[in-house]
């Protein structure tokens, strides 16, 4: 392809000679695809390892599709009962089980490579969700969700939720005890919703739990509906990314009006291809060496047994933890004969509702309290937006505390602690931890910003102490180079909103003042503590009284001669 274009460029319309060239020419004459290829090949992408996190998610999705395709060849989504005749594993021989479970065993023990495929599929699902979450963290902490990318942030969030849904529906398909326990919890959560709960549960399960419909229904969702929407939204996500151009980290010469990086062809095409093989390789390695979800350990679904250590996959663990932390006594209210199970409703519906709402509204909230309608293509360093970074860390703290609470029994056995004590500690931590995390993170950010100011104004400490003829001692500072300074001074530190006074010139109360006041309060929460970037005037001022930290011209020579040094240290 590339040779063909190069040839045509240089020597007018020469006929392509290679096979690939001829094929490309054939295609180009009929579709004009050359234009699109040229456009994309010249697209410039900035380089940073953290920009590859989303790529990991994309490639694990490709592996998920490929391995999932294999699994559908052998899985039978039926809840009809049969007696398992297979010899392996021995503890399942002769057990009564659903066809879905039997086909999972069959796929694992009879189909060549079946167990490997199942394990690759499951590990890919865990890595898919993990890389999505880490990618979201990157986007959040660097402010990549700001205008014009709010829509893509929302698309990404929906992708994340669809990922959860895909994981949940797939996890429940083998119809084993563990996933059945998960479905039972789902049933309970749905039923806890006032008024419509029981109707919804009957609709989902086609009658009373577990019924005979849930596995086929989840199967359709898992292999058709959810991946279909996922694919479409991934396409939209990537299209918007290309359309809006990729964000870049701050640095010399990088502005909101340019993109500094390498062209897609050949640099990124090579890097992406390489990364795809690395992702696929790691996933296959995991699938081949580490067992995952050995459903025959749990046995075919039966509503009565629940084994110790029954937890969902990691991305659902926060819900499990939320349920485990909620005190059960006194939280189930009966009002006029109707039960309001707050012990389920609050941890399983309200708390995740709050967490997800925060993610959905945050970009708009931040734009509102910043009064910001500019386009942003240069990312923020997390320290330069202390309130945002602190809120993000607080959110993560809440999420991690809930996930740990969902593992409280394993923490108890592995660290020799009392499960009751752990539960109480997490109950308190859930409220205290995020506040503490917010405060600490914000202080660290502000501290780092002040350190940056210090550096810009006074330069690096060189460790050289110099004594002047008059007996004064100074420490010599090395000034920052252009790149270092650019990184530290080129950021915005918004101030809290300023609003119009309560009354107008004639003393009449202004409409909308109360609302303005509230927004201003929120804006103060965000920006009251701020460290402004160093202005050029400040740099000038610092340099003008440079005798305290820098040595200039003749003075330096004199000092160096006096001290007997000939070389400057950096």
Partner 1 sequence: MTEKLKHFQRDEDIFVKALAARRHHRMAPVVLLLLALLTTGGIYAALAPSTAKAETVSTADIETGKKLFQANCATCHGPNAEGTDGVPSLVGVGAASVDFQVSTGRMPMQMNGPQAVAKPAQFNEEQTAALAGYVASLGAGPAIPTDEQVDASLGDPSNGMALFRTNCAMCHNAVGAGGALSEGKFAPALWETSERNIYQAMQTGPQSMPVFNDANITPDEKRDIVSFLVEQREGSAGGNSLGALGPVSEGLWAFAIGLGLLIGAAVWIGAKSS
Which of 338, 337, 355 has the alpha carbon at shortest distance from 346? Answer: 355
Chain positions 123 to 152 lying near partner 1, rule: CB under 8 A, are 123, 126-127, 130-131, 134
Q: How far is CA 2 from the centre of its chain?
A: 36
Minimal CA–CA distance to 368: which of 144, 140, 158, 147?
147
Q: According to the binding rule CB under 8 A, does residue 259 interact with partner 1?
A: no
User: Between vectors from CA 500 to CA 498 and to CA 501, what angle results, nearest 5°?
Assistant: 115
Q: Which of 305, 328, 353, 447 binds partner 1 (CB under 8 A)?
A: 305
Angle value at C-alpha 490, between 485 and 493, nearest 5 degrees: 130
89, 112 Cβ separation under 8 angstroms: no
The footprint of partner 1 on this chain (CB under 8 A) covers a number of residues equal to 77
CB of 119 to partner 1, least distance (A): 5
Q: How far is the CB of 317 from partner 1 (least distance, A)?
A: 7
Residue selected from 108, 169, 523, 550 as contacting partner 1 according to rule CB under 8 A:
108
Segment 37 to 76, residues that bind partner 1, using CB under 8 A: 47-53, 55-56
Q: Which of the ranges 200-208, 268-276, 360-368, 391-399 carries the binding residues for partner 1, by CB under 8 A?
A: 268-276
The verdict on 103 binding partner 1 (CB under 8 A) reads no
Round to whole Å and give the CA distance between 134 and 141.
11
List 335's β-bridge partners, or say none: 338
Contact track, partner 1, 423-462, x by CB under 8 A:
----------------------------------------
By the rule CB under 8 A, 478 interacts with partner 1: no
Candidate ranges 120-128, 455-463, 527-535, 557-565; the one touching partner 1 (CB under 8 A): 120-128
Residue among 171, 166, 168, 316 at smallest CA distance from 234: 166
Answer for which of 27, 233, 365, 412 binds partner 1 (CB under 8 A) is: 412
CA 196/CA 349 separation, integer angstroms: 14
Neighbours of 248 (CB within 10 A): 23
Q: Closest separation between CB of residue 253 and partner 1, Å?
A: 14
Does residue 263 interact with partner 1 by CB under 8 A?
no
At residue 327's C-alpha, the angle toward residues 325 and 329, to 5°, is 165
**Which of 119, 384, 449, 523 touches partner 1 by CB under 8 A?**
119
Q: Is 400 in the site for partner 1 (CB under 8 A)?
A: no
Listed ranges 93-101, 184-192, 328-336, 392-400: which one lies at the site for partner 1 (CB under 8 A) = 93-101
What is the rounded distance in angstroms from the CA atom of residue 477 to the CA atom of residue 140? Answer: 36
Between residue 312 and residue 331, which ones bind partner 1 under the rule CB under 8 A? 312-315, 317
Q: Is 365 in the site for partner 1 (CB under 8 A)?
A: no
Measured CA to CA, the distance from residue 311 to residue 322 in angstroms comes to 12
What is the dihedral angle through the alpha carbons of 342, 345, 351, 355, rounded to the nearest 10 degrees? Answer: -160
CA distance 522 to 245: 31
Closer residue to partner 1, CB minimum distance, 271 or 376: 271
The yes or no reply on residue 92 touching partner 1 (CB under 8 A) is yes
| β-sheet bridge partners, residue 464 | 476
Task: Restricting to residues 285-304, name those near partner 1 by CB under 8 A.
Answer: 286, 288-294, 297-299, 302, 304
Cα torsion for 244, 227, 312, 390, to the nearest 10°? 10
Which residue lies nearer to partner 1 by CB, 29 or 420?
Answer: 420
Ranges within 159-178 binding partner 1 (CB under 8 A): 177-178
């Amino acid at each position: 392809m590339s040779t063909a274009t190069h040839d045509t460029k240089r020597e007018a319309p020469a006929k392509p000679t290679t096979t690939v060239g001829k094929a490309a020419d054939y295609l180009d004459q009929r579709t004009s695809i050359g234009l699109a290829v040229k456009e994309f090949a010249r697209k410039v992408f900035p380089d940073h390892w953290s920009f590859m996190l989303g790529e990991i998610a994309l490639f694990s999705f490709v592996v998920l599709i490929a391995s999932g395709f294999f699994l559908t060849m052998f899985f039978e989504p039926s809840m009809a009962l049969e007696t398992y005749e297979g010899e392996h594993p021995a503890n399942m021989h002769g057990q009564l089980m659903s066809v879905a479970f039997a086909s999972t065993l069959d796929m694992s023990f009879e189909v060549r490579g079946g167990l490997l495929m199942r394990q690759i599929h499951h590990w890919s699902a865990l890595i898919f969700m993990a890389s999505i979450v880490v990618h979201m963290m990157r986007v959040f902490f660097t402010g990549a969700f700001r205008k014009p990318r709010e829509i893509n942030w929302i698309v990404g969030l929906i992708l994340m939720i669809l990922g959860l849904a895909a994981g949940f529906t797939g996890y429940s398909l083998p119809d084993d005890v563990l996933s059945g326990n998960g479905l039972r919890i789902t049933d309970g959560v749905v039923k806890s919703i006032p008024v419509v709960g029981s109707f919804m549960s009957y609709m989902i399960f086609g009658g009373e739990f577990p019924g005979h419909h849930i596995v086929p229904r989840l199967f359709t969702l898992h292999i058709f509906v959810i991946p279909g929407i996922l694919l479409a939204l991934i396409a939209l996500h990537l299209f918007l990314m290309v359309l809006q151009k990729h964000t870049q980290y701050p640095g010399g010469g990088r502005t909101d009006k340019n993109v500094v990086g390498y062209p897609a062809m050949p640099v990124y095409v090579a890097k992406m291809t390489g990364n795809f093989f690395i992702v696929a390789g790691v996933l296959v390695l995991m699938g081949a060496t580490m067992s995952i979800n050995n459903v025959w350990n749990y046995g075919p679904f039966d509503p009565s047994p629940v084994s110790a250590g029954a937890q969902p996959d990691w991305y659902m663990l926060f819900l499990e933890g939320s349920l485990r932390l909620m005190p059960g006594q006194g939280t189930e209210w009966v009002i006029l004969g109707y039960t309001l199970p707050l012990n389920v409703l609050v941890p399983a519906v309200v708390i995740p509702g709050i967490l997800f709402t925060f993610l959905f509204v945050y970009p708009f909230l931040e734009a509102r309290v910043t009064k910001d309608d500019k386009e942003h293509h240069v990312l923020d360093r997390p320290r330069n937006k202390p309130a945002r970074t602190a809120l993000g860390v607080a959110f993560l703290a809440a999420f991690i505390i809930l996930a740990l609470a969902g593992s409280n029994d394993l923490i108890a056995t592995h660290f020799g602690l009392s499960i009751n004590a752990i539960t109480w500690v997490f109950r308190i931590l859930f409220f205290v931890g995020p506040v503490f995390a917010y405060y600490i993170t914000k202080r660290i950010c502000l501290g780092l910003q002040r350190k940056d100011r210090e550096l810009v104004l006074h330069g690096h400490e060189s460790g050289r102490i110099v004594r002047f003829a008059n007996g004064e001692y100074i420490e010599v500072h090395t000034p920052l180079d252009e790149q270092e300074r650019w990184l530290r001074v080129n950021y915005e530190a918004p101030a809290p909103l300023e609003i119009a006074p309560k009354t107008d010139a004639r003393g009449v109360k202004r409409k909308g003042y109360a609302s303005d006041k509230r927004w201003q309060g929120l804006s103060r929460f965000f920006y009251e503590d701020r460290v402004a970037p160093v202005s050029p005037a400040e740099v000038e001022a610092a340099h003008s009284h440079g005798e305290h930290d820098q040595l200039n011209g003749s003075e330096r020579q004199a000092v160096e001669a006096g001290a007997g040094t000939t070389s400057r240290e950096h």
